Amino acid sequence: MSRIEFKNICKRYAPQLPMTIHNANLTIEHGEFCVFVGPSGCGKSTLLRMVAGLEDISSGDLLIGDQRVNDLPPAKRGVAMVFQSYALYPHMTVGENMAFGLRVLGSDKAEIDRKVKEAAEILQLTPLLDRLPKALSGGQRQRVAIGRAIVKQPKVFLFDEPLSNLDAALRVQTRLEIAKLHKDMGSASMIYVTHDQVEAMTLANKIVLLHTGALIQERGSVAQVGSPMNLYHRPASLFVAEFIGSPKMNLLQGTLRSADAQHASVDVGGQTLTVSVDARHLKAGESVQVGIRPEHIPLGTEGEGTGVAAQLQHIERLGDSSLLYVQIPGQPIATVKVEGSAAMAAGSALTLRLLPDQLHLFDSQGIACHRTVELPE
């Protein structure tokens, strides 16, 4: 079994330093594709290296299957790691690089040849087996690094930002190849580290978003665990809401007027917004923030929801869509994403329509209120 469990995992590099990892608790089920994502310095690579056995654990328990592996050497954990830098031996051919780990383990030559051939076919590397790394493109080198992991037939694959050295087109292509690899090797669990939320949203069955800075000490390392759609539609906090989604969520400062089991009424600059959340635990008069994603704001003087006046400050035309940067009186600049090339000029008056079912509500501590609408998970 390739189930991985983190139980109160902590990491501190020196007694006088703050925790790098603080009370990480999560489970990665057998066969899952789990992505660790978060800002720089959140500890995602540190967590990955703990699974690999390349980083000591200060406290807590790490289990692979039913075995506690805190003190188990890397070679005995049944894991294989794909590094950001490829880490290929320049004097060895593609085939020799892929076979190297098995040779070190003393595997039979016929078995090595069979496994290398199988991995090369999966990754479309068969015509390249006799080439040296210097004769390969960046994408081909990354496939060789992945192939070197495949031949070991590990219980767990670990990927440490494997696409960060590739250009945009190669990132998309290699991302598709990694997704196909997971499908083809369904019995293995995969943990993938990235700072790119597009990679996280498109590859993962499960996303683990990690806190950074002071939030690690205050709330622990793990900000939220869930499916990509769960984090997008039901962020647990402001930190999650602002990290997941591009452009990031707009936030409007307001005051809670009233709340029942299904809706909350919020005063935002003298206008009342209805938000589909359960905010009964909050008190009337409490400061709150209303969140709305740029892609969830229709324009127009008529329609559902509350009309909010705004002035267009700037437009970015992206071809298939446009980003409108608008000023709502008394609020920070907000972003609206509309389809097509917007035919309007800076200074234009706009009416934004804010629909109750598209709004989020966060308390003064940045904790989200439960949304009461049915949403895809």
CATH number at residue 288: 2.40.50.100
- Mean pLDDT value across residues 218-245: 96
Phi-psi region of 303 (alpha: psi -120 to 50; beta: other; left: phi over 0): left
- Mean pLDDT value across residues 125-145: 91
CA distance 355 to 104: 61
pLDDT of residue 298: 94
pLDDT of residue 173: 84
pLDDT (tens digit, 9 = 90+) per residue, 274-323?
999 999 999 999 999 999 999 999 998 888 889 999 999 999 999 889 99
Confidence of residue 1 (pLDDT cuts 50, 70, 90): low
Q: Cβ distance 69 to 53 under 8 Å?
A: yes
- Residue 150 vs residue 57, higher pLDDT: 57
Task: Specify the number of domains making up the chain.
Answer: 2
* One domain, residues 40 and 171: yes
Q: Locate 131 and state its tokens.
A: 């080439």
Which percentage of the chain shows pLDDT scores above 90? 72
Provide the whole-model pTM.
0.91
Of 242, 263, 280, which marks where a domain is finished?
Answer: 242
| Four-point Cα dihedral 244, 248, 249, 250, nearest 10 | 170
Q: Is residue 275 part of a domain?
A: yes
Confidence of residue 371 (pLDDT cuts 50, 70, 90): very high
Confidence of residue 143 (pLDDT cuts 50, 70, 90): confident
How high does pLDDT run on average in the chain? Answer: 92
Which percentage of the chain shows pLDDT scores above 70? 100
- Mean pLDDT value across residues 240-257: 96
* One domain, residues 269 and 178: no
Confidence of residue 271 (pLDDT cuts 50, 70, 90): very high
Q: Cβ distance 38 to 223 under 8 Å?
A: yes
* One domain, residues 211 and 73: yes
Q: Is residue 106 part of a domain?
A: yes
Confidence of residue 34 (pLDDT cuts 50, 70, 90): very high
* One domain, residues 231 and 258: no
Q: Is residue 285 part of a domain?
A: yes
Confidence of residue 241 (pLDDT cuts 50, 70, 90): very high
Of 201, 222, 242, which marks where a domain is finished?
Answer: 242
Of 224, 242, 260, which marks where a domain is finished?
Answer: 242
* One domain, residues 71 and 128: yes
pLDDT (tens digit, 9 = 90+) per residue, 158-206?
999 888 877 888 888 888 888 888 888 777 899 999 988 889 999 999 9
* One domain, residues 258 and 155: no
* One domain, residues 104 and 45: yes
Confidence of residue 343 (pLDDT cuts 50, 70, 90): confident
* One domain, residues 91 and 211: yes
- Mean pLDDT value across residues 323-351: 92
CA distance 83 to 81: 6
**CA distance to 10, 43, 187, per residue, from 46 (Å):** 10, 5, 25
CA distance 372 to 49: 39
Range of the domain at 356: 247-293+304-371
CA distance 61 to 69: 8
Q: Cβ distance 24 to 222 under 8 Å?
A: yes
* One domain, residues 258 and 189: no
What CATH code is carried by the domain that includes residue 79? 3.40.50.300
Q: Is residue 377 part of a domain?
A: no
Q: Is residue 288 part of a domain?
A: yes
Q: Is residue 298 part of a domain?
A: no
Q: Is residue 71 part of a domain?
A: yes
* One domain, residues 274 and 144: no
pLDDT of residue 171: 84
* One domain, residues 48 and 147: yes
* One domain, residues 360 and 251: yes
Contacts of 53 (CB under 8 A, 6+ apart): 69, 72, 73, 74, 77, 79
Examine residue 235 and say whether the peptide bond preceding it is cis (omega within 30 degrees of 0).
no
**CA distance to 40, 278, 299, per residue, from 338 (Å):** 30, 29, 9
Q: Is residue 299 part of a domain?
A: no
